[in-house]
């Protein structure tokens, strides 16, 4: 049976004390500190007869392996968020919500939140490495799944109006003004949840290696910059009867630019088109002889990468870690949480997602305790494209939004013109 480290045992002991008193607890553990083992040890110490862990699909195999290693196979069931409705009405002694921030949508609760509400439990354990990656308002619906002092509020709006949020306004879509609930009162919220929270850090775990980030700028084909320029200037490419691309709002333009600057684009009537493999070829040639884990955003990017790395690619973390010749190719949102890519020499992002969460969690996929070499993370950007500006924003733990794009659009268009002429 696996023996836990002292800091994990201490954290589990603290969680048991909180759960016995409050019935709800939050395990905030930095990436690769062993949150799963800590949560499972908590279940063992509570003496529960049946426990359900809800996680992301790609993390199931890893969690089941940890469960079996602790001898809890008969007592702990693992499922993914999409399968939760099949367990509606069931009762569990302990419900563990992995990556709990994924149910933190606000002001309205997400479908995942409603699905989890249908499960009955005695104890609730939430856990995440990034409980509130973008706003402390994301904590409301997570804690609203269980009994807390916030249970007296009917919904997020009542909670916000009670002084937990400084309500402002913002513009969305084509200029519609709506309430902005992102500016939450950090001090008040943290004071409320601190008695329910146990934190474990990489420093406690004994991590000694640091993440080394490097940005690579790849000169794309002239066609790439011409397409980007058309999107920014006209909002449309081609005719309706051809492979047309429509971007009539700021959000659509951002999506199309994110695709185009990696050499693919989704057309209106003919699906995705791959037209520039410069980034994929750069990765193949520049990182030759190294074991790579590559993360992408759009399906067409994955198709392009799988063709270039056809002989070695896999989307299974377990296969990747077991095969020294394998190349992991995975979608960033599916791979950024609960996925272990620790055998990678280099972790590579082809482009960058507009979400700060994808950056913050994705970059840690190759971290692990005892790693004896640098944890290298690479970002492959189109030279003179939108990606460096996105990178600067998400590194500051802020999403890149339509407001940022509106401010950058003019200089981006000029840079595309220059790239076409060069």
Confidence check: pLDDT of 246 > 60? yes
The pLDDT score that the predictor gives to residue 368 is 46
- Work out the pLDDT band at 227, boundaries 50, 70, 90: very high
Which single residue is written with the structure tokens 């429509």?
A: 246
Confidence check: pLDDT of 121 > 50? yes
Confidence check: pLDDT of 83 > 90? yes
- Work out the pLDDT band at 202, boundaries 50, 70, 90: confident
- Could you give the CA distance from residue 68 to residue 1 in angstroms, rounded to a whole number? 9
Whether the CB-CB separation of 107 and 140 falls below 8 Å is answered with no
The pLDDT score that the predictor gives to residue 134 is 84
Q: Which residues contact 404 (CB under 8 A, 6 or more apart)?
A: 389, 393
| b/e 206-233 (16+ beta carbons within 10 angstroms → b) | ebebeeebeeeebebeeebbbbbbbbbe
Q: Please say whether the dihedral angle defined by the alpha carbons of residues 181, 186, 192 and 194, taken in this order, is positive or negative.
A: positive
Q: What confidence tens digit (pLDDT) does each residue in 273-312 have?
A: 999 999 999 999 999 999 999 999 999 999 999 999 999 9
Query: Is domain 6-205 in CATH 3.40.50.10810, yes or no?
Result: yes
CATH tag, 211-421: 3.40.50.300
The pLDDT score that the predictor gives to residue 3 is 84
pTM to 2 decimals?
0.69
Distances (CA, A) of 33 to 30, 37, 89, 205: 6, 9, 33, 6
Q: CATH 3.40.50.300 region(s) of the chain?
A: 211-421
- Work out the pLDDT band at 248, boundaries 50, 70, 90: confident
The pLDDT score that the predictor gives to residue 373 is 59
Q: CATH 3.40.50.10810 region(s) of the chain?
A: 6-205
Residues linked to residue 179 through DSSP beta bridges, in sequence order: 169
Whether the CB-CB separation of 102 and 338 falls below 8 Å is answered with no
Q: Average of pLDDT values for 77-82?
A: 98
For residue 73, count other CB atoms closer than 10 A to its CB: 11
Q: What confidence tens digit (pLDDT) does each residue in 362-402 have?
A: 676 655 434 455 678 899 999 999 999 999 998 887 889 88
Confidence check: pLDDT of 39 > 90? yes
Q: Average of pLDDT values for 241-250?
A: 80
The pLDDT score that the predictor gives to residue 170 is 85
Q: What confidence tens digit (pLDDT) does each residue in 16-37 have?
A: 999 999 999 999 998 778 899 9
Element (H, E) at 258: helix 250-260
Distances (CA, A) of 310 to 262, 302, 328, 339: 19, 11, 11, 22
- Output the DSSP codes for 93-106: EEEEEETGGGG---
Task: Output the average pLDDT for the chain.
Answer: 91
- Could you give the CA distance from residue 149 to residue 119 in angstroms, rounded to a whole number? 21
Confidence check: pLDDT of 208 > 60? no
- Could you give the CA distance from residue 366 to residue 185 in angstroms, rounded to a whole number? 34
Backbone angle region of 370, left / alpha / beta, with phi > 0 → left and psi within -120 to 50 → alpha: left
């Amino acid at each position: 049976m696996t023996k836990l480290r002292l800091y994990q045992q201490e954290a589990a002991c603290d969680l048991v004390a909180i759960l016995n008193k409050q019935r709800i607890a939050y395990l905030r553990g930095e990436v690769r500190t062993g949150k799963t083992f800590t949560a499972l040890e908590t279940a063992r110490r509570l003496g529960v007869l049946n426990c359900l862990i809800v996680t992301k699909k790609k993390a199931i195999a890893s969690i089941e392996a940890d469960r079996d290693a602790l001898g809890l196979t008969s007592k702990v069931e693992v499922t993914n968020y999409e399968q939760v409705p099949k367990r509606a009405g069931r009762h569990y002694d302990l419900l563990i919500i992995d990556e709990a921030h994924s149910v933190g949508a606000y002001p309205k609760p997400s479908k995942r939140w409603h699905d989890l509400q249908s499960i009955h439990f005695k104890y609730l354990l939430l856990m995440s490495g990034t409980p509130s990656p973008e706003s402390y308002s994301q904590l409301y619906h997570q804690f609203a799944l269980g009994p807390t002092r916030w249970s007296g509020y009917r919904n997020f709006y009542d909670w916000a109006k009670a002084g937990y949020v400084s309500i402002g306004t913002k513009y969305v879509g084509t200029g519609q003004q709506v309430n902005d609930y992102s500016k939450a009162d950090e001090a008040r919220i943290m004071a409320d949840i601190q008695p329910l929270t146990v934190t474990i850090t990489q420093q406690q775990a004994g991590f000694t290696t640091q993440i080394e980030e490097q940005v690579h700028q790849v000169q794309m084909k002239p066609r790439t910059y011409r397409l980007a320029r058309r999107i920014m200037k006209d909002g449309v490419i081609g005719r309706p009867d051809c492979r047309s691309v429509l971007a009539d709002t700021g959000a659509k333009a951002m999506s199309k630019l994110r695709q185009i600057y990696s050499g693919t684009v989704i057309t209106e009537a003919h699906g995705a088109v791959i037209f520039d493999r410069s980034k994929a070829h750069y990765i193949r040639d520049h990182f030759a002889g190294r074991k790579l884990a590559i993360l992408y955003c759009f399906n067409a990017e994955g198709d392009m990468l799988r063709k270039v790395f056809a002989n070695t690619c896999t989307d299974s973390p377990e296969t990747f870690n077991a095969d020294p010749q394998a190349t992991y190719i995975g979608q960033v949102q599916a791979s950024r949480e609960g996925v272990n890519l620790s055998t990678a020499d280099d972790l590579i992002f082809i482009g960058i997602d507009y979400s700060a969460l994808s950056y913050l969690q994705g970059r840690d996929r190759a971290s692990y305790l005892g790693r004896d070499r640098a944890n290298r993370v690479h970002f492959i950007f189109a030279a003179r494209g939108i990606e460096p500006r996105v990178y600067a924003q998400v590194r500051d733990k802020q999403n890149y939004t339509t407001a940022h794009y509106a401010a950058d659009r003019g200089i981006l268009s000029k840079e595309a013109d220059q790239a076409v002429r060069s």
